[in-house]
Structure 1
């Protein structure tokens, strides 16, 4: 569940003031709405914005009367265009333990300000337009939509959340999907509660102060506590815009988070909540869903045939065990790493969650004599687990690590199309925690194999001026998984999609070579026929009958978060075109070489003329799985050149 009090879903339009190049000054210093706030029509610092957070302020403190956590929030937004109207619908998610212990939202006040016929018109939210409903088993949601919202409206809303959960001290998001002029968060934390405080997103605070206020909270029998009062603020925060090749936005949104470390009552009794990994390892060892399931003994004779049981502990045997689990047990699409994990139920029902399936695989391998351990990870959409201190809730997935002949393999038996030693893309999230209940757990880097796509085409121009010939491919790694799954899920649909990529190309005699649902290499072969563009004595054609990138995926002016491909990869395209003795080449395409900084990527395109044939070769290399943000402008230009080569390369032939 994403911990935020405001869901901002935004689309973007350009709108300039008709008489001035400068935007009216917004009052970003307070919650008070001013006439310039209302009359402004655009935001010059981001001409694409259709809404803007002018001011937001939060304050959290412990109520001395009942020791409950109070948080008061104030938000002031400008609606620039109708595409920004969605920001007028506010959703406040509140945590609950049960029907008697939950967070409450109170004192909701919301107002819309419009400038009509020379006057400021205020529209107030009515109480009957505030709704509360169950979101899921852990959260409720309070929703309301501000009234009379138009282009140019300023909306304000404030509310107070009362929470009995001091372990969930309120975090604060400075960055959203629209620009923010000013965001401030004030906190008051009594010394009884010690939190690990983490600033996420890499953006700098404009204000970061801390003061000690003595005797802010009184306890029984004259006890008292001092409070650490902090102010965090950011200014001129750009909108966070999602783009291809990234993990979850929660890894990068600028925000402050709290994790309860220690609570000490007024009697001096301390309870540690954030533990060291050695303590967590002990807890996991006895956990009903992890440790106890990992130590479940397996009767191999009840599952495997005698020949497999009695075979040597080789790589081939491990592959056979993996295939047995993969083929006989079905993933129910639930992760549930710490909940409803049961090897016994899985064996009986033949279906279960991620942990059940992979723990069964772990236990069979262990019983068969392999050096095997569980690896807890966080999926790409769940965010990176923190390495600063143990946070078990950061993990949502479990896979298997096995060492065979001094080589490490990572296994996940939930997917029928994975090859041995291959992980699904969702698991390629850089690192995980390798559990070892004897020697202690440790961080483990997830380094996927390099993936390659190679296409070769052997073509000629026939007597009817058609380009005909054969295309072959050889695909490995994660790319091969995508091709395998697409093809073996529905072979007919796969070929139809291949044909539909171009209306001018006819495909026939399609076949796969040495391919299966789990073969790490996918090979295919097919024949094409293409009617070249004939203009009198000349023939024009683009020789790229296979394209890797049809458009540049990088469109932002700048990007503040990494470019995460998940794995290193390369693309190859080699085509030989025999134009016979009736035509001659007018001009060879010019060679192109483009390198990323530090040689971390390369585009290489060249052509060779040999008798009556032209040979063209394109190679694209990405030598890193993850590139830091400073590479973004170079990658953007890099991909522009790649797309240009594939779409604008023309071979011109003329009659002799």
Structure 2
């Protein structure tokens, strides 16, 4: 923290008293009687109360926390062990104190209260400055009410953690209050559908309060791996502070940088570490010939050189542990380091190349906060001009071809770094990640088997996902047939072959046969020609949805099956034509059949136009996908009419 800032802060900050906090042991009858959460039945536990109250004292932010949890099922007993994590560092940046805890269990309507002593509260050093207090509630039973409170003092008042309203189990009442002072001016950063549309807000005399009620549990859902980006929360970033109070009015100092200043600080950091090269790299340092070809040719050669000759390990961050020369010598580094090394190589060739800082999916935000603070960014992209064309480049995935960007980096925007001109820019990475499946179905009269010859063409990121699945099987010495064994449990899988054309044609092909053994031994041959689809099983089975459905990108899957009707058989039954969507048409499905004499053709197509579907449309989407899965699993039936 700036010393001048700290001095004036200590001189100017008054002591602000807390509002009244909930009291331990004072339960409502509803809390005592509660056995199940009406809007989330089956919940193992519930936060009856979650409360935080913050105030400034000298140059420290103090927050009083109070929690009341009720155990609803046997599984809920896990909440009898509570961790309280904090960062102490080497200077006690955060200090947790005044921990109190008690457990109340009712037997025949009579409360038994146990106040926890020091033997039930202990501290653990997690390393690297992180510590944790652990509270262990004794004899927790279904119906027990657990309460604990503590105080945390935080010296870092430049960015305030604020409050997250949701927890891993339902929350009936979640409240956060902060008392601001006139000598500090903060930007409030709110997030979440509930926070903006359902919260009870109050403001007066520098006291700000938010309350949310009846919140669903915070947990992963199908097609939403980055739910942390949608959590209801409020945070604060220091914007400016008062350095003096004069007769002509207060004097202020800006604390929050401009985008340009923030960018210049990062550029200086990268320059000192050698990543902003202006002269060619020595051949003995970089055993790579980039003297010929277009800028795109050079960029591709350099990309594959780093991807295939460097070890990609470590956490993807915007800061580096190595300089460019060290990286080129060690030939290993974290994804962010490899990205900057790649930038250094491109710049040494006179190619225009700039980093773009992004907040990746799962980092905690669904949108960029529109004022400059660094905490919202955690990973790097490169924006490169190749032969006059701009292109985003990434080195996060060791299997990805040139031009692919990790899906977690497909975000709305980022901070483009350029000397004296850093700014926010939109990120729009377009691709056609589709899937085409062709199936030829015929009866082998010699063996009596029904043979389905399948060819799958996976494009772009669908292909990359398939490449990763194959790599996993190969690394574990498992047969490729396992790619399909779960979907075809009644069929024999054989002759699986893969053809990796991602680098040349952005396509990854897989072919295989699925065989219904001894099909001719029955008068009715019943089979499903389209069960290969991952949507043959409805992924949306839960009754409610907390977060949006995120398919990650727009795509379509097209399935074409040609059935050769064998001699002596006729079509007995098959699915009818259908075309469905949901309101707004973000997703659609069609299924059609065509009888061409000896050939019976089935075509199905699923198209996702808008990959992010709000939770308010979940009911429609669930019904839609149930219809899709029913159609994709509907059988075709061949009936014997004569013996050939």
What TM-score results when the alignment is normalised by the length of structure 2? 0.88
Alignment of 1:556-567 (within 5 A): 556-567=542-553
Matched, 1:318 2:299: yes
Alignment of 1:423-438 (within 5 A): 423-437=405-419
Q: What is residue 583 of structure 2 aligned with on the other side?
A: 597
Using the TM superposition, give the Cα deviation of residue 350 of structure 1 relative to its aligned residue in structure 2, in angstroms. Answer: 0.5
Task: Pick closer, same or farther for the CA change 1:360–1:437 going to 2, 3 Å.
Answer: same
Matched, 1:239 2:217: yes
**2-structure distance, mates of 1:408, 1:521:** 23
Q: Which stretch shows the higher mean deviation, 467-476 or 245-254?
A: 245-254
**2-structure distance, mates of 1:69, 1:254:** 22
CA-to-aligned-CA distance 1:156-188 (integer Å, 9 cap, x gap): 111122223322435112222322222222221
Using the TM superposition, give the Cα deviation of residue 283 of structure 1 relative to its aligned residue in structure 2, in angstroms. Answer: 1.4
Q: Is the 8 A contact 1:52 1:77 kept in 2?
A: yes
Using the TM superposition, give the Cα deviation of residue 414 of structure 1 relative to its aligned residue in structure 2, in angstroms. Answer: 3.9
Alignment of 1:59-70 (within 5 A): 59-63=53-57, 66-70=58-62
Give the aligned length.
610
Alignment of 1:142-153 (within 5 A): 142-153=133-144
Could you tell me which of 575, 578, 584 is aligned with 2:561?
575
Q: What is residue 428 of structure 2 aligned with on the other side?
A: 446
Using the TM superposition, give the Cα deviation of residue 239 of structure 1 relative to its aligned residue in structure 2, in angstroms. Answer: 2.6
Q: What is residue 87 of structure 1 aligned with on the other side?
A: 79
Using the TM superposition, give the Cα deviation of residue 485 of structure 1 relative to its aligned residue in structure 2, in angstroms. Answer: 2.6
Using the TM superposition, give the Cα deviation of residue 630 of structure 1 relative to its aligned residue in structure 2, in angstroms. Answer: 3.1
Task: Pick closer, same or farther for the CA change 1:392–1:298 going to 2, 3 Å.
Answer: farther
SS at structure 2 position matched to 1:362: helix
Alignment of 1:138-217 (within 5 A): 138-203=129-194, 204=197, 206-212=199-205
Q: What is residue 624 of structure 2 aligned with on the other side?
A: 638
Q: Is the 8 A contact 1:79 1:150 kept in 2?
A: yes
Matched, 1:47 2:41: yes
Q: Is the 8 A contact 1:584 1:612 kept in 2?
A: no
Matched, 1:402 2:384: yes
Task: Pick closer, same or farther for the CA change 1:199–1:442 going to 2, 3 Å.
Answer: closer
**2-structure distance, mates of 1:453, 1:550:** 15
Alignment of 1:207-606 (within 5 A): 207-212=200-205, 228-266=206-244, 270-288=252-270, 293-295=275-277, 297-299=279-281, 301-302=283-284, 308-384=289-365, 386-437=368-419, 439-463=421-445, 464-488=447-471, 490-491=473-474, 493=478, 495-498=480-483, 500-501=485-486, 502-513=488-499, 515=501, 520-531=506-517, 536-544=522-530, 546-606=532-592
**1-structure distance, mates of 2:388, 2:549:** 32
CA-to-aligned-CA distance 1:189-208 (integer Å, 9 cap, x gap): 22222111122112135432
**1-structure distance, mates of 2:273, 2:611:** 33
**1-structure distance, mates of 2:582, 2:143:** 44
Could you tell me which of 76, 81, 89 is aligned with 1:97?
89
| Gap runs ≥5 in structure 1 | 1-27, 213-227
**2-structure distance, mates of 1:265, 1:288:** 32
Using the TM superposition, give the Cα deviation of residue 521 of structure 1 relative to its aligned residue in structure 2, in angstroms. Answer: 0.9
**2-structure distance, mates of 1:449, 1:505:** 34
Task: Pick closer, same or farther for the CA change 1:377–1:540 going to 2, 3 Å.
Answer: same
Using the TM superposition, give the Cα deviation of residue 584 of structure 1 relative to its aligned residue in structure 2, in angstroms. Answer: 0.8
Q: Is the 8 A contact 1:428 1:448 kept in 2?
A: no
Q: Which stretch shows the higher mean deviation, 118-127 or 43-52?
A: 43-52
| Gap runs ≥5 in structure 2 | 1-20
SS at structure 1 position matched to 2:283: helix
**1-structure distance, mates of 2:444, 2:469:** 33
Alignment of 1:599-614 (within 5 A): 599-614=585-600
CA-to-aligned-CA distance 1:418-476 (integer Å, 9 cap, x gap): 11111122322332222222543332313241211111111211224311242212111
Q: Is the 8 A contact 2:552 2:611 kept in 1?
A: yes
Q: Which stretch shows the higher mean deviation, 408-417 or 151-160?
A: 408-417
Q: Is the 8 A contact 1:290 1:341 kept in 2?
A: no
Using the TM superposition, give the Cα deviation of residue 621 of structure 1 relative to its aligned residue in structure 2, in angstroms. Answer: 0.7
Task: Pick closer, same or farther for the CA change 1:499–1:107 going to 2, 3 Å.
Answer: closer
CA-to-aligned-CA distance 1:562-591 (integer Å, 9 cap, x gap): 222221111121111213211111234201
Q: Is the 8 A contact 2:277 2:348 kept in 1?
A: no
Task: Pick closer, same or farther for the CA change 1:473–1:40 going to 2, 3 Å.
Answer: closer
Task: Pick closer, same or farther for the CA change 1:498–1:616 going to 2, 3 Å.
Answer: same
Using the TM superposition, give the Cα deviation of residue 366 of structure 1 relative to its aligned residue in structure 2, in angstroms. Answer: 2.4
SS at structure 1 position matched to 2:584: helix
Using the TM superposition, give the Cα deviation of residue 317 of structure 1 relative to its aligned residue in structure 2, in angstroms. Answer: 3.1
SS at structure 1 position matched to 2:218: coil
Task: Pick closer, same or farther for the CA change 1:229–1:291 going to 2, 3 Å.
Answer: farther
SS at structure 2 position matched to 1:640: helix
Q: What is residue 13 of structure 1 aligned with on the other side?
A: none
Matched, 1:114 2:105: yes
Task: Pick closer, same or farther for the CA change 1:480–1:34 going to 2, 3 Å.
Answer: same
Q: Is the 8 A contact 1:534 1:540 kept in 2?
A: no
Task: Pick closer, same or farther for the CA change 1:546–1:41 going to 2, 3 Å.
Answer: closer
Q: What is residue 119 of structure 2 aligned with on the other side?
A: 128
**1-structure distance, mates of 2:161, 2:466:** 45
**1-structure distance, mates of 2:111, 2:412:** 53
**1-structure distance, mates of 2:498, 2:160:** 56
SS at structure 1 position matched to 2:78: helix
Q: Which stretch shows the higher mean deviation, 137-146 or 260-269?
A: 260-269
**1-structure distance, mates of 2:68, 2:452:** 64
